[in-house]
Amino acid sequence: MSAFTIIYTLLGGLGIFFFGMKLMSDGLQAVAGDVIRKIINSLTSNRVMAVGVGLLVTCIVQSSSVTTVMTVGFVNAGLMTLKQAIGVIFGANIGTTITGWIISINVEYGLLLVGLGFIPGLFSKTERWQHLGKSLMGMGLVFLGLQFMSHAFVPLRENHSFLDSISYFTGANYGAYIASILMGCLLTMIVQSSAAMLGITMALATAGIIPLHTAVALVLGENIGTTITAILASVGANVNAKRAALVHAFFNIIGVSIVLCFLPTFIKIVSSIITQDPTFVLPDGSFPNVSQHIALAHTLFNVAATLLFLPFIHQIIMIVTKLTSERQEREVPHLLVLGDPSNMLPAASMAQAESELRKMKDIVERMYKLNREFWYAEEYDPKKLAKIIDYERITDNIHKEIIVFLCYVMEKPMSHHQSEQIQAMIKITDELESVADYIERLANYRDRVRNTQSLSGESRTEFFQFLDEVWAFFEMVGSGLDQSETLDMGVIEAKSNELQLWADSMREKHLDRISKGAYLPVTALTYSDMVVALRKIRAHSFLMAGAIDNFHSKHE
């Protein structure tokens, strides 16, 4: 086989491997999108639970880099504490080892899996089965890619020039171990995928190009190299996001340093657990058992490191806090997303947007409370009006950024249900922004009745009663967003109709009082506008209830 043939076979196999990993990851994400969003939303300060979340999400997305970048983004947006992030990162390091076990399976099954995945992927009418078929095809392509890479490496076994060039790395001494770790780290930083480097390492070992100890050292280096993705993602982020990325690097560097001190013993432990001889050679010159030893070494390292560091999370936080300087960060009235949302997981992006919707609803609630104080006070306070107007400006900014954010997310591959949920979220943010607009209008109407035309008597009493009832209706609807539960649309529709009739009755009663001389005629227009504003808040709350109900509805 010529050098050109080796190169294009290797690159082609790597390309098929990458495409297979992406296809498998996209399919699993589409199937488990709701699961990812719910487990992210249910994160607690329990360190073991956080590790479980990181492990599960990484098993689904098949990339620890994706999970850690997502974690850094959540810390930057204030959706996850540093303590939670550390647990998730530990779990991600364990979860990424599943990739090693997948690719250690006999690669001869690649075509079979592609064929099995092709049937539901093309012919099934159920979206879930289509995505499962896509995942199966992706796994098959991963095996095919590894098979091509292994075939490309076979001629190198007899190429003395190549073997001489890597002889230093294959030595059984600490100089070779350190060199292999540094090489694994460097190549992973360049490729930006520890899974791809793990596949190449297994292909080299299976082809007999490198021995087991060199492969294990390369894998340790790959664990360090994969941290560069999170570090790059933290550039320009807040201090806690930088600390989360630093924890990832700290965890892997210290863990690798410890294992390096007794690497030969570590390899013996791995070989004692897996009984198959890693040096067993088939007639074609391949080493079929070595990939399982590499996968176990990868898993054993990450599990042991997690168990070692997990009890010392508080101490780790203290260390990274001292290493990163605290700086005063100005609060900005908009979404704190990290980087381009099109590079995030759709489910993770949705969880982040859902949290921002809750923040937006909280701002709208603060607007209402301030507006009620503004109306209830006997003296006109222009500072309160200015604050209400400022709140409305903030909701406009958040509304705009959520819409842009979700539109980017919709460009990613996702299930039909996820697409419907994003459309529901866009509808919710539209309605929240409209509610904020009418609260601002209501505050501006206070200026009309500040002097001789002040609101008093029965009209004032009815206005505040209706104001409170409308807001109670809004809070009833908003509880569906806070509690992530499906609303009782029958009850909400009945209450909405009741408020509609109440608004019509209030306007008629006020006109009757004006006809009897109780109020100046000019107040009729202002009072009518006030009631209309409250009625509009009711209407937008009702529309928001429908969107929340759609968001929480069961899929397919």
What's the pLDDT score for residue 237?
Answer: 67
Angle at which helices 194-206 and 290-309 cross, to 10°: 140
CB burial string 318-349: b at 16+ within 10 A, e below: eebeeebeeeeeeeeeebbbbbebeebbbbbb
Residue with tokens 């959540």: 74
The closest of 270, 164, 257 to 216, measured between CA atoms, is 270
Domain co-membership, 72 together with 147? yes
- Residue 363 tokens read as 């701002």
Most confident of 58-67, 429-438, 445-454, 496-505: 429-438
Do residues 107 and 144 touch, judged by C-beta distance below 8 A?
yes
CB atoms within 10 A of CB 493: 13
Domain co-membership, 359 together with 311? no
The closest of 252, 245, 266, 260 to 306, measured between CA atoms, is 252
The pLDDT tens digits for 515-537 are 665 555 556 667 778 888 888 99
Distance from C-alpha of 165 to C-alpha of 217, rounded to nearest angstrom? 18
What's the pLDDT score for residue 256?
Answer: 92
Within a domain: 334: no
Angle at which helices 523-552 and 457-483 cross, to 10°: 10
In this prediction, residues 190-198 reach a mean pLDDT of: 81
User: Of the ranges 305-314, 321-330, 356-365, which one carries the lowest mean pLDDT score?
Assistant: 321-330
What's the pLDDT score for residue 436?
Answer: 92
Within a domain: 333: no
Looking at per-residue pLDDT, the higher value among 242 and 348 belongs to: 242
User: Of the ranges 178-187, 273-282, 360-369, 453-462, which one carries the lowest mean pLDDT score?
Assistant: 453-462
Do residues 553 and 487 touch, judged by C-beta distance below 8 A?
no
Q: Which residues contact 391 (CB under 8 A, 6 or more apart)?
A: 363, 364, 366, 367, 370, 436, 440
Cα three-residue angle 99-105-106, rounded to 5 degrees? 145
Residue 333 has pLDDT above 50, yes or no: no
Residue with tokens 């974690």: 71
What's the pLDDT score for residue 328?
Answer: 42
Residue 553 has pLDDT above 70, yes or no: yes
Residue 556 has pLDDT above 60, yes or no: no
CATH code at position 423: 1.20.58.220
The pLDDT tens digits for 376-396 are 877 778 888 889 889 899 888
| pTM for this prediction | 0.69
Domain co-membership, 317 together with 360? no
Domain co-membership, 315 together with 352? no
What's the pLDDT score for residue 336?
Answer: 47
Last residue of a domain, one of 295, 323, 351: 323
Diameter over CA atoms, the chain = 109
- Residue 525 tokens read as 């227009």
For the purposes of burial, counting CB atoms within 10 Å of the CB of 155, is it exposed (0-12), middle (13-18) or buried (19 or more)? middle
Within a domain: 180: yes
Domain co-membership, 232 together with 110? yes
Last residue of a domain, one of 288, 323, 358: 323
Residue 280 has pLDDT above 50, yes or no: yes
Please state, rounded to an integer, the average pLDDT across all residues of the chain: 80
For the chain, give percent helix, strand, coil, nearest 5. 80, 0, 20
Looking at per-residue pLDDT, the higher value among 152 and 433 belongs to: 433
What's the pLDDT score for residue 332?
Answer: 44
Helix H or strand E encompassing 21: helix 3-31
Do residues 426 and 410 touch, judged by C-beta distance below 8 A?
no
Domain co-membership, 222 together with 87? yes
Domain co-membership, 298 together with 410? no
Looking at per-residue pLDDT, the higher value among 307 and 108 belongs to: 307
Task: Name the residue range of residue 367's domain.
Answer: 341-552
Confidence bin at 182 (pLDDT 50/70/90): very high
Domain co-membership, 309 together with 421? no
What's the pLDDT score for residue 456?
Answer: 64
Confidence bin at 1 (pLDDT 50/70/90): low
The pLDDT tens digits for 34-54 are 666 666 666 656 677 888 888
Distance from C-alpha of 385 to C-alpha of 387, rounded to nearest angstrom? 5
In this prediction, residues 155-175 reach a mean pLDDT of: 77
The closest of 85, 197, 203, 76 to 150, measured between CA atoms, is 203
Cα three-residue angle 315-316-318, rounded to 5 degrees? 65
% of the chain exceeding 70 in pLDDT: 86
Confidence bin at 334 (pLDDT 50/70/90): very low
Domain co-membership, 376 together with 318? no
- Residue 104 tokens read as 């250690």
Domain co-membership, 369 together with 483? yes
Within a domain: 271: yes
Confidence bin at 300 (pLDDT 50/70/90): very high
Domain co-membership, 209 together with 346? no
What's the pLDDT score for residue 338?
Answer: 40
Last residue of a domain, one of 292, 323, 354: 323
Within a domain: 59: yes
Within a domain: 413: yes
- DSSP characters for 282-319? -TTS--TTHHHHHHHHHHHHHHHHHHHHGGGHHHHHHH
Residue 407 has pLDDT above 80, yes or no: yes
What's the pLDDT score for residue 513?
Answer: 65
Domain co-membership, 120 together with 84? yes
The pLDDT tens digits for 209-252 are 888 899 999 999 988 988 887 787 777 667 877 888 888 888 88
% of the chain exceeding 90 in pLDDT: 11
Residue with tokens 């490309």: 152
Within a domain: 485: yes
What's the pLDDT score for residue 59?
Answer: 78
Looking at per-residue pLDDT, the higher value among 333 and 55 belongs to: 55
What's the pLDDT score for residue 339?
Answer: 46
What's the pLDDT score for residue 385?
Answer: 86
Residue with tokens 């200026």: 447
Tally of structural domains, the chain: 2
What's the pLDDT score for residue 245?
Answer: 84
Within a domain: 153: yes
